[in-house]
Amino acid sequence: MQSSLKISVIIPVYGEAGSITACIKNVRECCGEDCEIIIVDGSADGSTLSAVKDDGVMLLSSPPGRAVQMNYGAKKASGNILLFLHADTTLPPAADSLIRRALLAPCASAGAFKLGFDTSARSMKFIACIADLRCRIERVPYGDQAVFITGKTFAEVGGFPEIPLMEDVELFRKIKNKKLEIVVLKESVTTSARRYQAKGPLRCAFINTCLRILHVLGISPETLSKWYY
């Protein structure tokens, strides 16, 4: 029965015209032709949507903000399982089967893949290793790990809180409060290291860690977002 559950892949974008075709191709290859793909563009010019040539993809526009865009896509989704994917993240082979199998676990309602980067640099391998350790201890994945959740649980927790930063952390905090299991798969996604390389890998990792600590200490996402950007 689980194998028949439909997966809706929701991709929030903003200025991703150059990568969206490759992203859609990867989703088709790794989740099957029958999966539902929904792209939600937060840019007023709709440049990413204009670059999509696949007629089977649902194209939506919404106000900017990753949480806002993902929630809007989820409202339009018809799948039993929601997979939230960044446009610069590549899924592993047979991702659909891995997700369905993960959600067979008792009380499992959400999860994510292991984090990987599109570079062999030692600094990035170290960051990925630390991220994996943190995630397995905390059971709080980040958005660049291609998080997935049953539509039922997503509705029950009220979706992503529409805040400018840490929306993924807050979503999984709500799931944990319901005593539901969060599955972290051993298979990795491959995420672009461009943001880390632009700021410096270790500096970027340090900033992310500081922001997370400040979030735990009660600093508002709005303030954190100003500091981050």
- CB-CB contact of 145 with 135 (8 Å): yes
Q: What is the pLDDT of residue 150?
A: 97
**pTM for the whole thing?**
0.94
Q: Does 127 reside within a domain?
A: yes
Domain that holds residue 20: 2-197
Q: Which residue has the higher pLDDT, 28 or 199?
A: 28
Look up tokens 């929701």; give the residue.
Answer: 10
Q: What is the pLDDT of residue 75?
A: 98
Mean pLDDT of 136-142: 93
Q: What is the pLDDT of residue 135?
A: 93
Distance CA 22, CA 173 (A): 32
Q: Does 6 reside within a domain?
A: yes
Q: Does 221 reside within a domain?
A: no
For residue 145, the 8-state DSSP code is G
Q: How many helices (H) and strands (E) does the chain have?
A: 10, 9
Q: Does 222 reside within a domain?
A: no
Q: Are strands 147-150 and 81-84 parallel, antiparallel or unpaired?
A: antiparallel
Domain count, the chain: 1
Q: What is the pLDDT of residue 1?
A: 43
Q: Could you tell me the two tokens for 197?
A: 């390389």
* Gyration radius of the chain over CA positions: 17
Q: What is the pLDDT of residue 219?
A: 92
pLDDT in tens, 86-130: 999 999 999 999 999 999 888 899 999 999 999 999 999 999 999
Buried b (16+ CB within 10 A) or exposed e, 148-158: bbbbebbeebe
Q: Does 224 reside within a domain?
A: no
- CB-CB contact of 160 with 67 (8 Å): yes
Distance CA 73, CA 10 (A): 6
Q: Does 150 reside within a domain?
A: yes
65 Cβ contact partners less than 8 Å away, ≥ 6 residues apart: 42, 162, 164
Q: Which residue has the higher pLDDT, 103 or 199?
A: 103
pLDDT-derived band of residue 202, with 50, 70 and 90 as boundaries? Answer: confident
Q: Are strands 58-61 and 36-41 parallel, antiparallel or unpaired?
A: parallel
Q: Does 208 reside within a domain?
A: no
pLDDT beyond 70 at 146: yes
pLDDT-derived band of residue 59, with 50, 70 and 90 as boundaries? Answer: very high
26 Cβ contact partners less than 8 Å away, ≥ 6 residues apart: 90, 91
- CB-CB contact of 228 with 203 (8 Å): no
Q: Does 121 reside within a domain?
A: yes
In degrees, rounded to 5, the angle at the alpha carbon of residue 100 between the alpha carbons of residues 52 and 81 is: 55
Q: Are strands 181-188 and 147-150 parallel, antiparallel or unpaired?
A: unpaired
Mean pLDDT of 46-73: 96
- CB-CB contact of 62 with 41 (8 Å): yes
What CATH number does residue 41 fall under?
3.90.550.10
Q: What is the pLDDT of residue 153?
A: 97
Distance CA 108, CA 150 (A): 9
pLDDT in tens, 159-197: 999 999 999 999 999 999 999 999 999 999 999 998 898
* Coil vs helix vs strand at 75: helix
The overall average pLDDT reported for the chain is 94
pLDDT beyond 60 at 16: yes
